[in-house]
């Protein structure tokens, strides 16, 4: 029967696993650049949402989508679809509020 691991061994194992997991992660500036490009494209398609008080909500929604994407193994792949879905919900909410 194997002996249980000590706390230092568990901590070292966790750090190694974390480093291995994060090695495949993209650099933060790549996701930030993608976020800016996607937001620019989205606001060109939806100028009425960007104006007024909705502009701040668009930025907050993009930040939320980015934070959620970082929790996945492939944030650059997940982020565009997640951002589009969240912004579609925001657009629908804005249209309901205006009506």
Residue 64 lies in a domain: yes
User: Is pLDDT at 15 greater than 90 in this prediction?
Assistant: no
Residue 2 lies in a domain: no
Residue 16 lies in a domain: no
User: Is pLDDT at 67 greater than 80 in this prediction?
Assistant: yes
Output the pLDDT for position 3: 62
Tally of structural domains, the chain: 1
Banded model confidence at residue 73, pLDDT cuts 50, 70, 90: confident
Question: For residue 42, what are its two tokens?
Answer: 């989205």
Residue 14 lies in a domain: no
The domain of 33 spans 26-98
Residue 20 lies in a domain: no
* pLDDT tens sequence across 34-61: 999 998 888 888 887 766 678 888 889 9
Question: For residue 14, what are its two tokens?
Answer: 């966790």
Decide if 91 contacts 54 (C-beta within 8 A).
no
* Cα dist from 49 to 6, 70, 74, 81, 91, whole Å: 55, 26, 29, 19, 7
With a CB cutoff of 8 Å and minimum separation 6, the contacts of 64 are 86
pTM of the model: 0.69
């Amino acid at each position: 029967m194997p002996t249980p691991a000590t706390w230092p061994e568990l901590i070292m194992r966790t750090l190694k696993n974390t480093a291995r997991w994060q090695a495949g992660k993209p650099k933060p500036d790549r996701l930030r650049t993608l976020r800016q490009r996607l937001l620019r494209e989205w606001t060109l398609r939806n100028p009425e949402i960007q104006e007024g008080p909705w502009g701040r909500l668009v930025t907050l929604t993009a930040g939320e989508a980015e934070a959620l994407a970082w929790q996945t193994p492939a944030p650059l792949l997940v982020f565009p679809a997640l951002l589009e879905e969240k912004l579609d919900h925001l657009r629908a909410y804005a249209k309901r509020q205006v009506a």
